Amino acid sequence: MKSNTINTHIIWATCLFISTAASASVYQCEKNGVVEFSQLPCGEDAKLITIKEQNPFLSNAVQGKSTESVYSQTTGQVDSYIRTKQIAAEIAEHNNKIDTFKLRMNNEIAALNNQSDAQLQNLVGAKKQAAIAKQMSAVSERYAVLIDNEQRSIDRLIAENNRISNSFNELSNNDEVDSFIRSKQIMQQIAEHENKIDTYNEQLNQQISLLEKQVSHKPNNLAAANSDQALVDKMSALTSRFNTLISVEQRQIDRLRNELSQL
C-alpha cells in the first residue's frame, strides 16, 4: 500500500515537473516514516520544496525526446531526491548508534574502573585488578568493532549519495553562494571535531598520569608487582577506549574535508 502511495505521488510530481518552465515545486510530507509528494498540501507538516531542473521540452539538449523518455528522466529525479532524504535519515540512525555505543562503552569501563579501585592491595586484589583491566580492554575492543561497522555503513551511504548528486549536477545561479556557505559550515564542524579530539587527548593524559603515580616502579613483593602490572593493563585499556573515541571524530573530519575538497 505504501509503495502504491509513493508511486502515485511520484507520478503527480513528474507531471508537475513536465509542466514547469525552470523548476518544479511540490509538497513534501512524511506519514509513518514514508516520504510522500503531492501537488497540493498533503498534511499539516507539508513543506513546499523546489527541485531545480531545466524543462526537458525547452532544452536544446533533449529536443526530440519522446514523452516516455522525459517521464523516465523526471521520475528518476524524484526517485533520487527521495533516496537522498532516506540516505540522510539512515546516516543519522548510524550516528545515533555510534553515540549509543560510545555511551555504553564509557559506562561499562567506568563501572569496571570503580571495581578495580576498590580492590585491596594484596595478592588476591592485585590479580582481581589485572582481570578487570583485561575486561576493560575487551570492552573497548568490542565496542570499537561495533562502531567501525556503523562507520563503514555511513561511508557506503555517503558514497551512494555522492553518486546520486553527480548524476544531477546541473548548476543553479545560487551554487556559488551555497558552496561558500557550506564551506564555512564544514570548517566550523571540523573545528568542533578537532576540539573533541583535543579534549579526549587531555582526558587520556590526565588519567594515565594518575595511574602512573600509583605504579611503585620498585615493587617489593608479589602483590605490588601484580598491582603494577594491573595498572599497566589499565593504562592500555584506557588508551584503547580513547583511541576509539578519537577515531570516531577523526572519521568525521576526514569525511568533511573530502566534502570540502569537492565544493
What's the pLDDT tens digit per position in 180-198? 788 888 999 999 999 999 9
24 φ/ψ angles, rounded to the nearest 5 degrees: -120, 130
* Residue 236, pLDDT above cutoff 60: yes
- Over pLDDT 70: what percentage of the chain? 62
pLDDT of residue 220: 60
- Which grid coordinates belong to 143? 565496542
pLDDT of residue 33: 64
57 φ/ψ angles, rounded to the nearest 5 degrees: -75, -25
Contact 26, 37 (CB under 8 A): yes
Contact 91, 158 (CB under 8 A): yes
d(CA 248, CA 99): 10
d(CA 13, CA 16): 5
d(CA 180, CA 202): 33
d(CA 70, CA 50): 18
Is residue 214 very low, low, confident or very high in pLDDT (cuts 50, 70, 90)? confident
pLDDT of residue 242: 92
DSSP run (H or E) holding 122: none
Average pLDDT, the chain: 74
Return the higher-pLDDT residue of 206 and 170: 206
According to the per-residue pLDDT averaged within each range, which of 1-15, 79-93, 142-156 is highest? Answer: 142-156
- Number of C-beta neighbours around residue 93 at 10 A: 14
CA trace torsion 133, 139, 145, 151 (10° rounding): -110
pLDDT of residue 216: 59
